[in-house]
Structure formats: structure tokens, C-alpha cells
Structure 1
Amino acid sequence: MIGEAVYGYWTPCFWGLAVLAGFLGWGSAIQRAGSLPQTDWGLRCAWGMAFVTVSGGLLACLSLAAKPVLIGMVAAGALLAVLFCGPSLSSILTNRRSTLGVFGFVALILLFYAAFVDVRWSNACDDDVAYFVFAKRLLDSGTLIEPFSLRRLSAYGGHSLLQAVIWAFGSQKSLYILDAGLCGVVLAGMIFGSCRRAKISIGCACLIAGAAILLPVPRINSMSQATGIVLFFALFRTLRNSAQRTPRWQDCAIAGMCTAAGM
């Protein structure tokens, strides 16, 4: 768009990974704050995505969800990821076999993610008049209040907020990073974590998670598809985890947050 900064491939690519780290950091903070049992990184990323969506919505109501604030949320989450997840990662990397498995899984995930960093196709009837416009407006104004836009009134705006987070260091070509790229990665992590919780071997868990993210998803625009799957899968796993022990108010709060973000 005219007047905006021009980014190449690598800046949006690394920014998308920073957003993923931000989701992981906020999810890990929620787990620590709620004194919840240790869980896999995929579920924590989904919790973090839900937290960013809900808190960003509250900020948008106050016209505060502008570009600097969204960047600050991601930076704070990434810092939390380093603080909370650094020690556990170092313990995993002490074992050579585990290290090879981690790097192999990360390489597969990055290969999948890299394909969606720069997508030059768009739907003129949806993306160019609604989805791209809403995300850009949120970055510029900090709010999505548009009482005379039927397209805006027909959605809650959570997906637009997450797209705006991606656009902070990208462009409309980078918006597929969210639904097709990051959500595919988070979904793979959640499936891998579910398999490991069911005591499935690491190799089989990697195959199942890899097969899940390689399933074709028909896309006609940049709308929310995998995002909803991730958030409602997170809701299911949160409720399932709480059913296996005595439910507490923290479980209800996280379930409500996932529900609100997935609507």
C-alpha cells in the first residue's frame, strides 16, 4: 500500500516466529500464574494466542490496539518465553537423541511455515475490501469501530487483530503467515503433545503431527480457518485436562478465554 514501509521476505519471516514465541511466552505465563500442571508447548501457544486476542480486543475497545502496543505485546511475550522455556529447552538438548529429534521436528515445521511467508495471491472480493483493510485500519487507528460497515459488523474482529499483529512488520502479502503458517505449526504442536500424553512414541507422534499439518485446506481468501481449529482444540484439551483432576476456577477462566477468542 502507498506510504507504508516495504519489507522483504526475511523480516516478516522472523517476525512471524517472534509472534509464535510471544504466544508461547504468554501461554507459559498463564500456566505459571494459574499453577497448572506442566503441559506441551502447542497448548501453551494456543493459550497465548487466545490471551493476545482477548486482551487485544479490550485494548481495541479503548482505541489502544495500535502498532506500538501490539509490538510491545509480542516483545513481552517473547521475553516471557525465554524466561520460562529456556531452562526446559536446555535440559532437552543435553540428550543427543532428543536433540536430533528436536532439530528434525523444527526443520519440518520451518519448511512448512516458510511457504506462507510471502503469498502474492488475494481475493479481490474479500481480502482487498475487508480482511486487509480491517487489519491495516487497526494498526493505524487502534480500533475497529466502524458502525457503517456491514462486513465489519458481521464479525467480532479477533482474526483481524491477529492479522494486524502480523502486519506490524509485514504487508498484506504476509497475512497468510497467521492462519496457514503459525496456526499450522501450533496445531502440529498440540497434536504432538496429545500423542505424547497418550504415551505414543516420539516417532509416531511426529508422523501423526506431520500428517495433520500436511492435510490440504481449501482457501479462497485469508479468512480464519486453522485459527478456529486451534482455539477450539485448545478449549477441548483444556476441558479434558480439567476433567482428569479437580476442576478449579483457573480452568474455567482459560476455557472462557479460548471460547471468546474462537468466536
Structure 2
Amino acid sequence: MALGFIYWLSDFYNIRNLFINSLSEIRLDRSHWLFILGIFAVVFLNLWHYAGSVYSLNFQGLDDYHAYFVYPHKMLQMGSLGPDPFSERRLSSLGGHPFLQTFVLSALGNENLHLIDPGVSFLISVGLLLGYFKDKNLRKEAAILLLFIFLCIYYPQLNTSSTVTGTAMFLSLFRSLDWEEMESSRWIPNACIVALVTAGVWSLKTSLIPACTILVIASYFFYILGAKGDRRTAASECLLAGILTLLLLLPWMISMYQSSGTLLYPLLGKGYHGSAYGTYLHKNFTLVQALKVSIGSVINVYGVSVGLLGFAILRWRNWTISGREAPLSFLISAAVVMPIIGLSTGGTDSYRYGFPVISAAIIVLMTGAFIQTEAGEKSKLSNTAPVLIAMVVAGIMIGNNSNSLKLRYSEFAGNIKSGINNVALVSDQQIAQHIKMQQSIAEGETLLTRLERPFLLDFKRNKILLADWPGGASPPPGMPLFKGSEPLADYLTSQSIRYVAYSYAKEAAYSKSFLSSSISTENTWLRNQAENAWDFQANLKELGNNRQRLYDDGDIFVLDLLSRKKLK
């Protein structure tokens, strides 16, 4: 990060005169009042959005507290993610996003873990779009309008995992592929740039990999196809970019293999995932359900929006292959990946997982519609048709989530107030509770946890393992579920796990009453997760009745699985 900041200062110093000249060329008068108002609206939304993301008490307990808070804390204390074979979320990414979060926690606190996503990531995305608009010589009025639309696209933030960060990375990848200075004669540096950004996207979250891969492959396909006499150089760049991407990801992949038994889930094996034992995820997912999910993931607001913009681009485009065809490749990626994500999640929150590529693709395709209109030489009606379609899409996207968008921006006021008052996310009493609990076992011992706030533990003192989604991941032969408490105890002790900590009073914030509405749906993924977790927790509760409790404060207990209670 320090090297990147130094490079930015050096780059800014070199272009300082160009920047100053650009500012001096701006001329505004009262006749441009609408444009001035648009600038103020965009700047205000940006600042309000960022300020509301700096400090927050709104986090998702099941995802953030159980796992996503843990990983950066563990990385800072231990120096790496380390092995965590019982953590299902450990398989959901190579670890790039927790690595980014360590920069926040190295200077700030848990309350600031929305700072990068969406805070900083939104600013970076806006900057990337401004640069793109400038490269395409887009009129300033159109640029402000598109930025306003982008800031009004509702982002489905459920937890602190990568959402808007993925958008920024996809925009960065698109701009790299669309960059006019990537000449064929510089194919080695070109491959390095593409590989760096591609590896960054891959590392953030497994759900981003299909869209990223399709985008890069499609772009290189068009590049090689249109290269004609220089196809060997184009093919060499493609091959080198692929090799460099894998080399950049290899350390992360080795770490995942050491932890969870696969270099990359699920592309290179299931590893320790529960589905490898036939007891987890989509065990009742029929062909009819698969078709229903696939169709539903496309026939919705976002699928229709991408389809309309795709029509606007394809209907009036010049069908000669030119360069890397980054916009067309982005369209293909967004269209193909929606049913893929739908199938992989059983239809649950498919838009949330696909948001990074869908949001980036929509704003890029909208920009393409404006570019076509400004460069068009057809009749007035056909010339403006792409922009009209783009405005219809903007209305659909914003109108569909207008209420959620209002709530999101109103939440920022509460976040800013909490930040000013420095309201703590975790009390001193809760911190002391976890310190005392952990001291009930000897230093260096392994502890399997099913806690409400495991991120408060000292990861240097003990080897801490997370049962974040019980049964979702576990070493062979797999965690025994629905077989009673004693087989579970035998399995854990066979894995050299003697001590288990459980927030039994609150059922680790995952009781049946808490999620009864969620599992009543037809989604087998959610229902499977819930049923496995409840069975695991019921077994821990039963073990709490016949195993020695080394610690019990009425909220959390620590069990010694090798010490049975003496009968009275």
C-alpha cells in the first residue's frame, strides 16, 4: 500500500500541469445552472456515501461476527489466514478481501470495517468512471448524469464481504482491456497488467471468478480474431496473462489447500466442503428446480436491464471486430454469469453475488449508448434510441429499489452520528468475558468455537477453529450430522480437538425462532445450512450435560470432550 501511494504521488507530480490546465478550462455561468446542480448532487452523494461508510454499527451477525471479522483479526495476529478446515466461509474466497480489511484494523476498529467496502471502493469506482468518460470524450452533461445514475444504483450489502470492491475491480479490469495504449507491440507489459487485475478479482470472492474469467476470455477471443496478421502476438499475450494470473494466485491457493483440501473450491475440487460427503448443499435440487432458478435469475429487473442495454449496443453497433471489444465482452460476461450464479446459490441472493459485474456492466453499457448517440449519423430518432433505452433502464434500476435506496442513505445519518459519538460495537464486559473464557484452557490448545463473537478471541494464544456453518466444511470423513452427540464428540476428538466453546444461551445468534421464516422457502441451500447448524447446536447442548464444563458464565460454556461428568 505504501509503494502504491508513493507511485501515485509520483504520477500526480508528473501530470500536475495537465491537471491544473484541465481545471482552468472549466467555464461555468448561470446558463449552466442545471449542470452545476448536477455536480453538487454528485459530489454530495459521494461525500454522504463515504461519510456514512466510515463508521457503522450495522453488521450481519451470522456472516460478519462468525467469520468475516475473524479473518482480518487472525491475519494481523498470526501473519496469515492459516488453516481452518471447519470454516465453510474459508472456502468462499482465497482471502483477498480479508487482506484488505487488515489495513483498516491495523489503525482503526471493528466499527470501521465498512470503510473499504463500500466507502473507499465507491470513490475508486467513481474515479474510474470519470477517467473512462474522459477517454471517450463524453460530454460533461452526460458524464454527470451517468455518475448520478451509478450512485443511485442500489448495492445489496448484507455483510462486509466484497460487494462494491468487486465493482471497482471489474471497472478496473474493463478499463485495462479497453485501454487504447495497450498496443500489441507491448504484449508482455499488457499481460502483466491484465494478470494483476484478474488475480485481484479472483482473490476477492469465488462468486466473482466465472464473470471475470468470461470477460477476459471473451476479450482475448475478439482480440485474437481481429488481429489478423498479428495473431501470434495476441495469442502469446493471452497465454502469458493466464500463466501470470495463476502464479499470482498460487500462494493463496496453496494456503486454501493446506486449510481446506482444495486449491480452489469448487473449480479444482470440493476439498473439505460438506458436499464432498453428500450431506450438504443441494441434496434435493431437482432438474425442474434448476430450470426454474436459471430462468428466474435472468427474467428479473437486472436481467431485463442487461438485455435492453445489450439490444441497444448490438442493434446499432458496427459489426467489424475492433481491438479487444471490452464492452461487448462485458455484455457477454454479465449475461452468461447470471444463470451460473443462480444455480450455484440455489437462487438465493443471486443479484447480490452478481452485483459487482452487473452494476459495472450496466454503467459501461449505458456509457456506450451515449457514445453511440453522440457519434451517430442516422436519423434523429434512431440516433437517440440507445440513450432512450439507457434512460428506461436507469428508471427501472432506480425505481425498483427506491425505498431500499432511501433507507440506505438515511442509515448514513445514523452511522455518522454513531461515529461522532464514538459508540462502541463491543463492550469492555464482552471483551473481558472472552478473555476469561479462553483462559479456562491451557495456552497452545486447540479450541473449536460456535460463538456469537469469535473475533474477540486471542488467536495467538490458542489454535482457534470456526464452526461458522457446521457441516459446511470439515476434514474427512466429514462431520457426522443427525447421528447424535456421541458420534460428533468421537469425530472431534479424532481430529485432535478436545475443547469446544459454545454460546449456548443465545444459540450463537442462530436459533430456530430467529430464522423460521427463511427456511420456509423452497431454497435447499438455506434450509440445508439451517438444519445442519441446529443439529450441531443441539448436539453441543447435549454434550454440555454429560461433559465437564471448564467454563460457564451463563452465556458461554467450554467443554472438555475427554472428561465426562461424574454421576451423582
TM-score by length of 1: 0.63
In structure 2, give the amino acid aligned to 1:167: L
2:60 counterpart (112, 123, 126) = 123
CA distance in 2, matches of 1:243, 1:78: 23
Whether 1:221 aligns to 2:159 is yes
Deviation at 1:244, TM superposition (A): 6.6
Aligned to 2:15, what secondary structure does the other structure show? helix
- The amino acid that maps onto 2:126 is A
SS of alignment partner, residue 113 of structure 1: helix
- Distance of 1:164 and 1:99 partners within structure 2: 43
Kept in 2: contact 1:192–1:206 (CA 8 A): no
Distance 1:214 1:163 in 2: 25
Read off the aligned partner of 1:83 and give its amino acid letter: S
What corresponds to 1:77 in structure 2?
4
Deviation at 1:250, TM superposition (A): 1.0
Is 1:257 aligned to 2:196, yes or no?
A: yes
The answer to whether the Cα contact below 8 Å between 2:76 and 2:106 also exists between their aligned partners in 1 is yes
Distance 2:6 2:181 in 1: 32
Partner of 1:111 in structure 2?
A: 48
Match of 1:133 in 2: 70
1:231 CA drift (Å): 1.4
Q: Which moved more, 1:245-254 or 1:130-139?
A: 245-254
> What RMSD, in angstroms, separates the aligned Cα atoms of the two structures?
2.7
Q: 1:221 to 1:109 in 2, by over 3 A?
A: same
Asked whether the equivalents of residues 93 and 99 of structure 1 are also in contact (C-alpha less than 8 Å), the reply is no
Amino acid at match of 1:125: L
Q: Offset at 1:97?
A: 5.1
Question: Closer, same or farther in 2 for the Cα pair 1:98/1:78, shift >3 Å?
Answer: farther
Aligned residue runs from structure 1 range 54-65, under 5 A: none
| Closer/same/farther in 2, CA of residues 204 and 220 from structure 1, 3 Å limit | same
Q: Would the aligned equivalents of 1:189 and 1:209 in 2 still touch at CA under 8 Å?
A: no
Structure 1: tracts of 5 or more residues without a match: 1-73
Q: Distance in 2 between matches of 1:227 and 1:96?
A: 33
Conserved 8 A contact 1:175-1:222: yes
Amino acid in the other structure paired with 1:137 = K
* Conservation of the 8 A alpha-carbon contact between 1:135 and 1:167: yes
1:95-122 CA-partner distances (Å, limit 9, x unpaired)? 4454999x96766533331110001111
CA offset at residue 178 of structure 1? 0.9
Could you give the per-residue CA deviations for residues 69-94 of structure 1, whole angstroms, max 9, x where no partner exists?
xxxxx333323322221342454235
How far has the Cα of 1:161 moved from its partner?
0.4
CA separation of 1:168 and 1:214: change in aligned 2, threshold 3 A = farther
- Does the 8 Å contact 2:182/2:190 carry over to 1? no
* 2:45–2:151 Cα contact (<8 Å) kept: no
Q: CA deviation at 1:189?
A: 1.2
In 1, Cα distance between equivalents of 2:25 and 2:49:
23
Q: Distance in 2 between matches of 1:251 and 1:242?
A: 11
CA deviations on 1:110-145 (whole Å, 9 max, x unpaired) are 333111000111111000011111011111221011
1:201 aligns with 2:128: no
Q: Secondary structure at the match of 1:212?
A: helix
Structure with bigger gyration radius: 2
Identity, in percent, stands at: 25
Give 1:218 shift: 1.6
The structure-2 alpha-carbon separation of the partners of 1:91 and 1:253, relative to structure 1 and needing over 3 Å to count, comes to closer
Partner amino acid, structure 2, of 1:135: P
1:166 and 2:93 matched: no
Mapped contact 1:242–1:251 kept (Cα < 8 A): no
TM-score under structure 2 length normalisation: 0.31
Name 2:434's counterpart in structure 1. none
Point out the more displaced range, 186-195 or 88-97.
88-97
1:166, distance to aligned residue in structure 2 (A)? 1.8
AA partner of residue 54 (structure 2):
V
Q: How many residues align?
A: 189
Cα distance change, pair 90–132 in 1 and its aligned pair in 2 (3 A): farther
For 1:110 and 1:97, how far apart are their aligned partners in 2? 25
Other-structure match for 2:118: 180
AA matched with 1:177 = L
- Measured in 1, the distance between the counterparts of 2:162 and 2:54 equals 16
- Higher strand share goes to which structure? 2
Could you say if the C-alpha distance between residues 108 and 125 of structure 1 is closer, same or farther in structure 2, counting changes exceeding 3 Å? closer
Which range moves more in the overlay, 134-143 or 105-114?
105-114
Aligned-partner Cα distance in 2 for 1:75–1:106: 27
Correspondence 1:43-58 to 2 at 5 A: none
Distance in 1 (alpha carbons) for counterparts of 2:115 and 2:26: 28
2:149 aligns to what? Answer: 211
1:99, 1:161 → 2: CA distance? 43
Distance 1:149 1:178 in 2: 27
Q: Tell me if structure 2 keeps the 8 A contact 1:138–1:164.
A: yes
Q: Secondary structure at the match of 1:93?
A: helix
Q: Which residue of 1 aligns with 2:82?
A: 145
Which of 164, 170, 183 pairs up with 1:245? 183
**CA distances 1:202-239 after superposition (whole Å, capped 9, x unpaired):** 34323312321332112111111111222122222212
Alpha-carbon distance in structure 2 between the residues aligned to 1:214 and 1:182: 17
Aligned-partner residue type, residue 134 of structure 1: Y
SS at match of 2:61: coil
Write the letter of the residue equivalent to 1:76.
Answer: L
Which letter does structure 2 place at the counterpart of 1:92?
A: F
Contact 1:239/1:255 (8 A) holds in 2: yes
